[in-house]
Chains A and B, each alone.
Chain A
Amino acid sequence: DAKTTQPPSMDCAEGRAANLPCNHSTISGNEYVYWYRQIHSQGPQYIIHGLKNNETNEMASLIITEDRKSSTLILPHATLRDTAVYYCIVRAGTGKSTFGDGTTLTVKP
Chain B
Amino acid sequence: GAVVSQHPSRVICKSGTSVKIECRSLDFQATTMFWYRQFPKKSLMLMATSNEGSKATYEQGVEKDKFLINHASLTLSTLTVTSAHPEDSSFYICSASVTDSLRSYNSPLHFGNGTRLTVT
Contacts and interface: CB of A to CB of B under 8 A. Distances in A.
Contacts, number: 62
Given A41-B116, A43-B93, A94 B110 contact: no
B104 interface: yes
A41 B114 CA distance: 8
B78 interface: no
A85 B88 CA distance: 24
A99 B34 contact: no
A102 B43 contact: yes
B46 A43 contact: no
Nearest to B32: A94
* Chain A interface main SS type: loop
B104 A97 contact: no
A101 B91 CA distance: 16
B111 A45 contact: yes
- B interface bracket (residues with beta carbon within 8 Å of A): 20 to 34
Nearest to A31: B106
Contacts of A81: none
Contacts of A38: 44
Contacts of B45: 99
A51 B112 contact: no
Contact of A34 (B32, B34, B91, B109): B109
Given A94-B97, A96-B34, A43 B43 contact: no
B113 A93 contact: no
Contact of B91 (A2, A41, A45, A99): A41
Contact of A46 (B6, B104, B109, B112): B109
Contact of A44 (B46, B93, B104): B93
Contacts of B111: 36, 43-46
B41 to A, nearest CB: 9
A49 B116 CA distance: 28
8 tightest Cβ-Cβ pairs between the two chains A and B? A43-B111, A99-B44, A46-B108, A43-B113, A44-B111, A99-B43, A43-B114, A101-B43
